[in-house]
Amino acid sequence: MKLKTIIITGGAGFIGSHVVRLFVNKYPDYKIVNLDKLTYAGNLANLKDIEKKSNYEFLKGDICDAELIQNIFEKYNFDGVIHLAAESHVDRSISNPMEFVKTNVIGTVTLLNAAKHFWKASLDSIPKGNLFYHVSTDEVYGSLGKKGKFKETTSYDPHSPYSSSKASSDHFVRAYHDTFGLPVVISNCSNNYGSFHFPEKLIPLAINNIKNNKPVPVYGKGANVRDWLFVEDHARAIDVIYHKGKVGDTYNIGGNNEWKNIDLIKLLCKVMDEKLGRKKGESAKLITFVKDRAGHDLRYAIDSSKLQKKLKWRPSLKFEKGLKKTVDWYLANEEWLKDVTSGDYQKYYDQQYVIR
C-alpha cells in the first residue's frame, strides 16, 4: 500500500511548523513534504527538532510558481494537501495589499489547479483518499458587536486586505469543490498564540518589547477583542479535521477565550514581572497607546460547537497557563528572537508604530 504522502505549505511558519511537527511525529508511516518560500515569516529553525526524521522533507519554493507546483505534484504523487502558506499580518496587508493577493489568492488557485489535475477530480467521481485542506481564518467573517459568535454559516464580511484575500481564497476552494469535484475541507480559526510566533503579532511583540524595556504599542484604546487559542490546540484540530472531517464542509476552530487587548497586555505585563523578577507594575509602565489600525475589527469570537460535537475536539489549555508557557519559551529562546528580528523586520517596525 502506498504510504500517505502529504504536502504541507507554509510549514516553516508559526502554525505550519506546529502542524508539520505533529504530523511527522505522530504518523511515522506518512511522508510529510514541507513546501515554503521562506519569506521573513518562515524559518527553518522552527523545525530543528524534526528536520532529520526520515519521513520529512523540506522544499524551498513559491506556491505561485505553477511550473514548480506541477513538477512537485508529479514527483511525489500527493494524497493530501494541507495549505497554510500565506501572508498573514493585517498591518502588512494595509501597506502592501498586492503581496496578499499574489500569495493568498493566486498561490491558492495555483495549488488547486495542480490538485485538480493530478487527482483527476470530476463532479461524477470525487476522488476518494485525496483531500485538499485549506487553513483559513475567522477574520473572513468580519467584525462582531458586543454579542454573538461566528458560526460556519455566518456570511463573509472581510474588512482588511488580509481578510479579503483569505475570504477570496476560501471562495475559490469551495468553487473547486462545487464546480470540479475537488475533495476539499476548510477550517476558520481564531487568533493563535504560542512558540515560534513571529514577533510582529501582538503577543510575541509585547513579550519581546517588555523584555527589552521598549514601549508596548496598544492600538486605539485597546478595546478590541480577540478569541485566543494555543497553537498546539489548532494543530490538533487540523489533524482531527484532516482525518475525520466531512469533504466539502467547513469547521470553525476557537479557544472560547475572549480578551480585550488592553486586559491581555496587562495580564502579560504581570506574568513578565514575575518571570523577570521585576517589581509589581514595572512592565505595565511600558504600555503605550498608539494610533489605531485602519479598519480595525472590533471583536472576533468563534462558535466551535460543530467541531466539538462532531469531531470531539476541544481546547486543552487554560489561557493563563498557555500564556506562561509561551513567555517561558520566548525567554528561553533568545537566539531565535534575535535571529528572526534581524531581517527586514526592524525597518518595517520602525515605520509602523508612530507613538501618539
Segment 264-303, which members bind ligand TYD (CB under 6 A)? 293
State the Cα–Cα distance between residues 297 and 292, nearest whole angstrom: 11
255 binds, among ligand TYD, ligand NAD, none (CB under 5 to 8 A by kind): none
Residue 164 binding ligand TYD, by CB under 6 A? no
3-state secondary structure the chain: CCCCEEEEECCCCHHHHHHHHHHHHHCCCCEEEEEECCCCCCCHHHHCCCCCCCCEEEEECCCCCHHHHHHHHHHHCCCEEEECCCCCCHHHHHHCHHHHHHHHHHHHHHHHHHHHHHCCCCCCCCCCCCEEEEEEEHHHHCCCCCCCCECCCCCCCCCCHHHHHHHHHHHHHHHHHHHHCCCEEEEEECCEECCCCCCCCHHHHHHHHHHCCCCEEEECCCCCEEECEEHHHHHHHHHHHHHHCCCCCEEEECCCCEEEHHHHHHHHHHHHHHHHCCCCCCHHHHEEEECCCCCCCCECCECCHHHHHHHCCCCCCCHHHHHHHHHHHHHHCHHHHHHHCCCCHHHHHHHHCCEC
Select the residue interacting with ligand TYD from 46, 191, 252, 256 (CB under 6 A): 191
Active site residue 139: yes
Shortest Cβ 217–ligand TYD spacing (Å)? 4
Of the listed 36, 91, 138, 170, which one is catalytic? 138
With CB under 6 A as the rule, give the number of residues binding ligand TYD. 12
Residue 166 binding ligand NAD, by CB under 6 A? yes
Residue 160 binding ligand NAD, by CB under 6 A? no
Select the residue interacting with ligand NAD from 32, 36, 210, 301 (CB under 6 A): 36
Active site residue 292: no
State the Cα–Cα distance between residues 322 and 304, nearest whole angstrom: 19
226 binds, among ligand TYD, ligand NAD, none (CB under 5 to 8 A by kind): ligand TYD
Residue 161 binding ligand TYD, by CB under 6 A? no
Judged by beta carbon, residue 260 or residue 310, the one nearer ligand TYD is: 260
Shortest Cβ 105–ligand TYD spacing (Å)? 18
261 binds, among ligand TYD, ligand NAD, none (CB under 5 to 8 A by kind): ligand TYD
Segment 62-101, which members bind ligand TYD (CB under 6 A)? 90
CA distances 283 to 208, 214, 280, Å, are 12, 10, 8
Select the residue interacting with ligand TYD from 78, 132, 219, 313 (CB under 6 A): 219
Judged by beta carbon, residue 102 or residue 293, the one nearer ligand TYD is: 293
With CB under 6 A as the rule, give the number of residues binding ligand NAD. 30
Asked whether the beta carbons of 90 and 151 are under 8 A apart, the reply is: no
State the Cα–Cα distance between residues 236 and 316, nearest whole angstrom: 10
Active site residue 232: no
Residue 264 binding ligand NAD, by CB under 6 A? no
Beta bridge partners of 283: none
Judged by CB under 6 A, which stretch of 200-208, 266-274, 307-315, 321-329 contacts ligand TYD?
200-208
Residue 158 binding ligand TYD, by CB under 6 A? no
Shortest Cβ 159–ligand TYD spacing (Å)? 11
- State the cell numbers at 203: 503577543
State the Cα–Cα distance between residues 133 and 108, nearest whole angstrom: 11
Select the residue interacting with ligand NAD from 7, 64, 115, 203 (CB under 6 A): 64
Shortest Cβ 182–ligand TYD spacing (Å)? 28
Residue 217 binding ligand TYD, by CB under 6 A? yes
Binding region for ligand NAD (CB under 6 A): 9-10, 12-16, 36-39, 41-42, 62-64, 84-88, 103, 107, 135, 137, 166, 189, 191-192, 198
What residues are annotated to the active site?
138-139, 162
List contacts with ligand TYD (CB under 6 A).
90, 191, 201-202, 205, 217-219, 224, 226, 261, 293
